[in-house]
Amino acid sequence: MSTTYPDLAGLKALPLDELPRLAGQIRSFLVDDVCRTGGHLGPNLGVVELTIALHRVFDSPKDHVLFDTGHQTYVHKILTGRSADFATLRKDRGLAGYPQRSESVHDHVENPHASTALSYADRLAKANRLAGSDDRHVVAVIGDGAMTGGLAWEALNNLGSSQEPVVVGLNDNGRSYGPTVGGFARHLSRLRAGHRERNNLFQQMGLSCLGPVDGHDFAALEGALRQAVALRRPTVVHCVTEKGRGYQHAENDEVDRMHGIGVLDPISGRAMPSSARSWTAVFENEMAEVGSEREDVVCVTAAMLRPVGLGRFAERFPDRVFDVGIAEQHAVSSAVGLAMGGARPVVCLYATFLNRALDQALMDVALHRLPVTFVLDRAGITGPDGPSHHDVWDLALLGNVPGLRIAAPRDTARLAEQLREAVAVTDGPTAVHFPKAVADPPIPALRHMDRLDVLHRSSHQPLDVLIVAVGVTAAAALQAARLIEHQGHGVTVVDPRWVLPVTRLLEHLAARHRLVVTVEDGVRAGGIGTALAQACADAHVRPPVLNLGVPRAFVPHGDRDSILARCGLDAASIARTALGALSAPAACDPASARAAL
């Protein structure tokens, strides 16, 4: 089917009445291929006509077509010659699920976090003017959901005053994951209903505004986009689209219109059968139970209520859950207000998105020593969504927040325990960090020591190696311990449970071994291993501390287990690195045990 798509020159030459057939062909392709690979289906079904119109009006790559929250770029990829690669979508060394500059000259930005494209566009247009390239147009496509992010409004504020001729394609489908929240959503709803708002927000900020136009009507779209270009000033083209359009199962899905899917049967729209439970599903059940146990517990999220596992809590306690839109900074600062008012807030986010609110975690929550709990889903290596969604930085960044206690459960049984422990803390903030993964069987402890669990201890050999397993690296650490034992060395494996701050007991255990190996699926630099090495140095504990983790790099998309192996975090690599250090400590470099990413 990929050979039937016209190139961009051929697309511009197509008669208007042939475009609906092309749109239908693209939708069929998306349903068939994305159901086979998994990915973002609903958002792309909604922007088929809009993307075709953009590439007929603008001349990519000379003109800059920027997509905010790049999950809506599948149609753009098809039209720019990548349809044949969709069988590899989000797979190791395959087609990325977001724009990727190395993939095509038509991908100008790599921006899988929301609300950024207007800032890019404003100053890109200015840079073009300063370079004398006034014939290059800049258009930014942004969804109404992404418009709930504060960064988008900072950019609009500048666009309205700079008067750069940026075209803003507002893709208004009334949703982010679920329905868009807030006052701006109500404003757009009135515009969609045909009310001629005297105080149109865009016009009040100094931008022109065209529409609303039917985002599935080619003539209306192209006419509005050409008119916006002709105005030569910042202009919003308000396009009303339908998320999931053309696929009945997405259109009928009132939860998220099949925003992001796993592998589905395209005919029935049902996921392939699986008995596996995810960490998120376990958290969802436990969070609802915590809500039953404590009436003061409230939950805050940023446009991701169901993806982070708050659906059941929201059904049972609708007045105690707050969705603030794609506004992580506001989510964290609003939790400060809740805590000051006597509530016990739990802020639930994808771990990668908390990075956007680090200042609020530091200066609003921690400085006030408030009992706010951060629940960080999809921490560590996540797999197919790539460098923006692997959250390999959260432990390194949060480790520098004074007074913050961080839990990294090794299994879902510990998740249930540590969630309750976190909510019980009253004198400062806590964080619970867990992966995007299937819930494997629980890993029992041989012994509990203070806050630390001993998972393995050699009975006959001397105490050569202490492996400190952070969170879900425990399974690989235990397998590595057996491999090391086969070579005649004694091994202890411990799970610190609360990984920061470093417990003094861990320093004492380190002093009794020849070598300490820390294993974490976050960055080595500044991570848990670094903190333990510093603590041992401060306590004059002298065994070498070898830190295994993710290199300081943007890790590409692919299979989670394969990525971990390439980072030296599988059992064989852990054992090989430890044995190398025991035999030649001075020559051991943990980076040498890893293949290049």
- Condensed to tens digits (0 to 9), the pLDDT of residues 169-199 reads 999 998 877 788 899 999 999 998 877 667 7
pLDDT at 253: 85
| Residue 413 tokens, joined | 């049984």
pLDDT at 554: 93
Q: Which residue has the tokens 């998320």?
A: 243
Residue type, 548: L
Does residue 411 have a known ligand-binding role? no
- Report the alpha-carbon distance of residue 161 to residue 390 in Å, rounded: 37
Does residue 144 have a known ligand-binding role? yes
- Report the alpha-carbon distance of residue 112 to residue 556 in Å, rounded: 13
Q: Do residues 395 and 405 lie in contact, with contact meaning Cβ atoms separated by under 8 Å?
A: no
pLDDT at 588: 44
- Report the alpha-carbon distance of residue 196 to residue 320 in Å, rounded: 36
Does residue 173 have a known ligand-binding role? yes
pLDDT at 197: 67
Tell me the backbone φ, ψ of residue 287, rounded to 5 degrees.
-65, -40
- Report the alpha-carbon distance of residue 408 to residue 471 in Å, rounded: 5
CA neighbor of 405 nearest in space, from 429, 371, 433, 372: 429
Q: What is the CATH number of domain 2-251?
A: 3.40.50.970
pLDDT at 585: 52
CATH fold label, 279-433: Rossmann fold (3.40.50)
What stretches in the chain show pLDDT beneath 50?
A: 1-2, 586-597
For residue 114, the tally of other CB atoms under 10 A from its CB is 28
**Overall size of the chain counted in residues:** 597
For residue 163, the tally of other CB atoms under 10 A from its CB is 13
Tell me the three-class secondary structure of 282-339, residue by residue. HHHHHHHHHHHHCCCEEEEECCCCCCCCCHHHHHHCHHHEEECCCCHHHHHHHHHHHH
Which residues are tagged catalytic?
243, 328, 356
CATH of 448-584, one of 3.40.50.920, 1.20.140.10, 3.30.70.141, 3.40.50.720: 3.40.50.920
| Residue 474 tokens, joined | 């425990």
Using alpha carbons only, give the angle 145, 126, 164 rounded to the nearest 5 degrees: 65
Tell me the backbone φ, ψ of residue 242, rounded to 5 degrees.
-120, 115
Asked if the bond preceding 20 is cis, omega within 30° of 0, the reply is no
Does residue 247 have a known ligand-binding role? yes
- Report the alpha-carbon distance of residue 7 to residue 23 in Å, rounded: 14
Does residue 328 have a known ligand-binding role? yes
For residue 247, the tally of other CB atoms under 10 A from its CB is 22
Start and end residues for every CATH 3.40.50.970 domain found in the chain: 2-251, 279-433
Residue type, 427: D
Question: Checking phi first, is residue 101 left (phi over 0); if not, alpha (psi -120 to 50) or beta?
Answer: alpha
CA neighbor of 266 nearest in space, from 482, 439, 27: 27
pLDDT at 21: 97
Q: How far is CA 209 from CA 169, 200, 256, 335, 465, in A?
A: 10, 8, 28, 35, 66
Does residue 593 have a known ligand-binding role? no
pLDDT at 453: 97
- Report the alpha-carbon distance of residue 68 to residue 60 in Å, rounded: 16
Does residue 495 have a known ligand-binding role? no
